[in-house]
Amino acid sequence: MSAAEATALAVPAVRPAVRAEALPYASPYLAGVGLGLVLLAAFALVGRGLGASGAFSSVAAAGVSAVAPAHAAANPATAEYLGAGGPLRDWLVIEIAGVVLGGFASAWLAGRLGSAVERGPRVGAGARLAYAGGGGLVMGIGARLARGCTSGQALTGGALLSVGSWIFIATAFAAAYAAAPLFRREWT
Amino acid sequence: MIFPLIETETTAGGGAGLGVALVLGVAFGFALERAGLGSARKLVGQFYGRDLTVLKVMFSAIVTAALGLFWLSRLGLLDASRVYVPPTYLLPQAVGGAVFGIGLVAAGLCPGTSCVAAATGRRDGLAVVGGMLLGVLLFAEAFPLFAGFYDSTPRGTLTFPTLLHVSPAVATAALVAMALAAFAGAERLERHVNRGGGS
């Protein structure tokens, strides 16, 4: 199973064109099976799963190293992300560059590209951007503590039946449900 | 055994491994966008009961990959012992998951989907990307404070078949049963909420 075949499975017949209306989203089950085949291809081809937060750590580590190389090398939490070839030789950074390209291509084919700040009717764009940035910051800390995020722990570790990954899934969903009422005004 | 084709250790700096990373990443991003997970509004619907796309996509993917892994090893095509399993650290992963979950519902996007959202022109997606970078940077700079906790309760590579003394076949079958039950529950909940029974 090649990644290209996996992709084809999730792609309805679309022509790249300027569309008056965006295509509807794919069935979540079909998209999920496609995503699962991509994950399986990763296991079979390179013996590892997918990830996302590790790419952020590599980019941040490269940034710190560019400004203060000795400081970066002295910190084990930064040094472990400083590969020999720099961030552009890092597996997850390249994979995430692919995610950006693939997400862009899919949205373009479906007529879903466009500048926007997604939010509910009761919050301004500035407030939504603040929630997004703050939420991202908190997620970054959580992902570092858990050694991975929705991709590296939930998807990859979940499929590998890893106990720690399922603990991550359980506490992440429980906390998100518990906190959801606090952020309801962001969306409704 | 044919698979894995390339060993994990050699992918870090290997050109072939990086080519695979790019192709897999493109397919990964494509699938996330197709499902609608580049949209924060759609993604957070999971936590208000109106749109359980996250659960459906995630469990379909997990079950597909787990079944594929099981059958490829059963047929002697893949050496599952050479697939890297993230190590278990009980407390850091429980606490990290909870912190992550709070950030997730505020951000409306996870790290992977924030990249898709940003790539499709959503500026809130870009803000999540920026926040993530700052978060991992702050964690690394404050690491001496967390170092003891970060390495606490290590259990090494620990999977459910090992923990529960069951075969991979039983564990995979249980996973499939759990996913099917979750799908049925998700469909019922969505119908209930969107008929006006909830938010």
Q: Which of residues 22-81 of B touch A (CB under 8 A)?
A: 22-36, 38-42, 44, 46-48, 53, 56-66, 68-69, 72, 78
A15 domain residue, yes or no: no
Confidence (pLDDT) at A130:
98
Confidence (pLDDT) at B74:
96
B94 domain residue, yes or no: yes
Q: State which residues form the domain around B54.
A: 18-197
ipTM value, please give it: 0.96
Residue B24: which of A3, A36, A174 has the nearest Cβ?
A: A3
pLDDT average, residue stretch B16-34 = 96
B193 domain residue, yes or no: yes
User: Which residue of A2, A5, A89, A106 is the best one to mutate when testing the B interface, meaning the one whose CB has the most B CBs within 10 A?
Assistant: A106
Residue A6 has pLDDT above 90, yes or no: no
How many domains are contained in chain A? 1
Confidence (pLDDT) at A14:
45
CA separation, residue B43 to residues A35, A170, B172 (Å): 16, 17, 27
Closest C-alpha to B82, from B90, B73, B91, B71: B73
For A84-111, the pLDDT digits (tens) are 788 888 999 999 999 999 999 999 999 9
Q: Rounded to 5 degrees, what are φ and ψ at A26?
A: -70, 160
- How distant is the Cα of B78 from the closest Cα of chain A, in angstroms? 7
A78 domain residue, yes or no: no
B48 domain residue, yes or no: yes
In this complex, do B124 and A128 lie within 8 Å of one another by their Cβ atoms?
yes
B157 domain residue, yes or no: yes
Confidence (pLDDT) at A51:
97
In this complex, do B61 and A35 lie within 8 Å of one another by their Cβ atoms?
yes
B62 domain residue, yes or no: yes
Q: Which residue has the higher pLDDT, A7 or B95?
A: B95
Residue A145: which of B72, B96, B109 has the nearest Cβ?
A: B96
- Tell me which H or E stretch contains B1: none
* B168 interaction partners in chain A (CB closer than 8 Å): 161
A94 domain residue, yes or no: no
- Map chain A to HEC letters: CCHHHHHHHHCCCCCCCCCCCCCCCCCHHHHHHHHHHHHHHHHHHHCCCCCCHHHHHHHHHHHHHHHCHHHHHHCHHHHCCCCCCCHHHCHHHHHHHHHHHHHHHHHHHCCCCCCECCCCCCCCHHHHHHHHHHHHHHHHHHHHHHCCCHHHHHHHHHHCCEHHHHHHHHHHHHHHHHHHHHHHHHCC
A128 domain residue, yes or no: yes
A136 domain residue, yes or no: yes
Residue A28: which of B56, B64, B150 has the nearest Cβ?
A: B56
Confidence (pLDDT) at A8:
46
User: Which residue of B10, B46, B124, B180 is the best one to mutate when testing the A interface, meaning the one whose CB has the most A CBs within 10 A?
Assistant: B124
How many domains are contained in chain B? 1
Confidence (pLDDT) at B197:
58
A43 domain residue, yes or no: no
A126 domain residue, yes or no: yes
**pLDDT averaged over every residue in chain B:** 94
Residue B130: which of A83, A97, A136 has the nearest Cβ?
A: A136
B12 domain residue, yes or no: no
Q: State which residues form the domain around A131.
A: 120-188
Residue A136: which of B62, B72, B132 has the nearest Cβ?
A: B132
Closest C-alpha to B105, from A126, A64, A175, A61: A175
A45 domain residue, yes or no: no
* A186 interaction partners in chain B (CB closer than 8 Å): 44, 106, 108
B97 touching A (Cβ < 8 Å): yes
pLDDT average, residue stretch B128-141 = 98
B3 domain residue, yes or no: no
Cα separation, B2 vs A73, in Å, equals: 38
B173 touching A (Cβ < 8 Å): no
For A160-169, the pLDDT digits (tens) are 999 999 999 9
B5 domain residue, yes or no: no
Residue B196's pLDDT band (boundaries 50, 70, 90)?
confident
* B90 interaction partners in chain A (CB closer than 8 Å): 164, 167
Q: How many residues are there in chain A?
A: 188
In this complex, do B97 and A171 lie within 8 Å of one another by their Cβ atoms?
yes
In this complex, do B128 and A135 lie within 8 Å of one another by their Cβ atoms?
yes
